[in-house]
Amino acid sequence: MRKIIAVVAALMVSLSLASCSNDNGGGTSTGGSASGDKPFISIVSKGFQHQFWQAVKSGAEARAAELGVEIEFIGPASESEVEAQMTMLDNALAKKPAAIGFAALDSQAAAGTLTKIKDAGIPVIAFDSGVDSDIPLTTAATDNKVAAKEGAKHMCELIGNKGKVALIVHDQVSKSGTDRRDGFLEGMKEYCPDVTVLEPQYGGGDQAKSADIAKSIMTANPDLSGIFGSNEGSAIGALKGVQEANMAGKIVLIGFDSGKAQLDAIRSGEMNGAITQDPVGMGAAVVQAAVDAIDGKTLPKFIDTGFYWYDKTNIDDPKIAAVLYD
């Protein structure tokens, strides 16, 4: 019995000491750690609806291992769940991490929580999609306007600078959504001003909804020449809509991002091409910027993670293949 009491007492002392060592005290970040021995970084993404985010996650995890930091990579089930993402951001703050990475579903919805994070002394690194705030120290992302403009350039060439073109955009509240929409519109105006561009339609990045939108557009516009899908879900949805309407190969399809379905469609000729980001590089850049911020280094306001146009002619080029995900 005395041995059991002694063991219990020793465990109680050990737990007490562990509690003291893990107590950061107050609301200011002190280089927090979930396990107590490594800087801990919480990364709140837009979700796991698309393969893109899994690629970002893999890049973040690889760089975290290289730098000796601990991360969590979380996000809502779909890119329409703004409220769920805000709850995740609040929960991330409650863990008192050394830094937070954040890809906003809504560029304005997080304003209050970001202020709390700043007041807690925790550096914020925005990625993929910026916010309407000066609180993030930097944003690691594709230059979405320039990338979408490149997509417009190829669209104009492929449709012969004539006809009608539609846009299916993933949302109108995130910076990636609005920048890709606006960049594509600017490109169409510059490269083929005589082409009629229809009002953008928003499918939430959902494949089924985007497919229905594509079919409605084709029904209302039998002379449609092309469709641009602004992210993986939008592009695959447009493809499904075209296939279901038996219009594959008759309408030019240009997408954004990659993923197995897009790659297969481009190889088969059902999709003409797409813009790919570098999601693995983006994930690595988020973690690198977070560690630099923790170390007190000055960061640039924007970290351009790059993009590439790919189609059937270059999809297997090693430089392109390295940034595709399937």
pLDDT in tens, 188-197: 999 999 999 9
| Measured distance CA(296)–CA(292) in Å, rounded | 6
* Maximal C-alpha separation, the chain: 91
Residue 196 pairs with which residues in a beta bridge? 164
Q: Could you tell me which CATH number the domain at 144-277+310-321 has?
A: 3.40.50.2300
Contacts of 71 (CB under 8 A, 6+ apart): 40, 41, 42, 43, 60, 61, 64, 287
Residue 73 pairs with which residues in a beta bridge? 43
Could you tell me the residue ranges of all domains in the chain? Answer: 30-142+279-295, 144-277+310-321
| Measured distance CA(236)–CA(220) in Å, rounded | 20
Summarised one tens digit per residue, pLDDT across range 59-89 is: 999 999 999 999 999 999 988 899 999 999 9
**CATH code matching the domain that covers 30-142+279-295, chosen among 3.40.50.1580, 3.30.2130.10, 3.40.1390.10, 3.40.50.2300:** 3.40.50.2300
| pLDDT, position 33 | 52
Summarised one tens digit per residue, pLDDT across range 22-45 is: 333 333 333 455 556 899 999 999
* Contact yes or no for 201/168 (Cβ under 8 A): yes
What is the Cβ-side half-sphere exposure of residue 320, based on CA atoms within 13 angstroms? 18
| Measured distance CA(197)–CA(217) in Å, rounded | 12
Nearest one of 111, 92, 175, 115 to 139, comparing CA atoms: 175
Q: To 5 degrees, how large is the angle CA 219–CA 185–CA 220? A: 10
Same fold, 30-142+279-295 and 144-277+310-321: yes
Q: How confident is the model at residue 9 (pLDDT cuts 50, 70, 90)?
A: very low
Summarised one tens digit per residue, pLDDT across range 205-238 is: 999 999 999 999 999 999 999 999 999 999 999 9
Six-digit token pair at 181?
């929409």
| Measured distance CA(179)–CA(144) in Å, rounded | 6
Q: pLDDT averaged over the chain?
A: 89
| Measured distance CA(326)–CA(310) in Å, rounded | 14
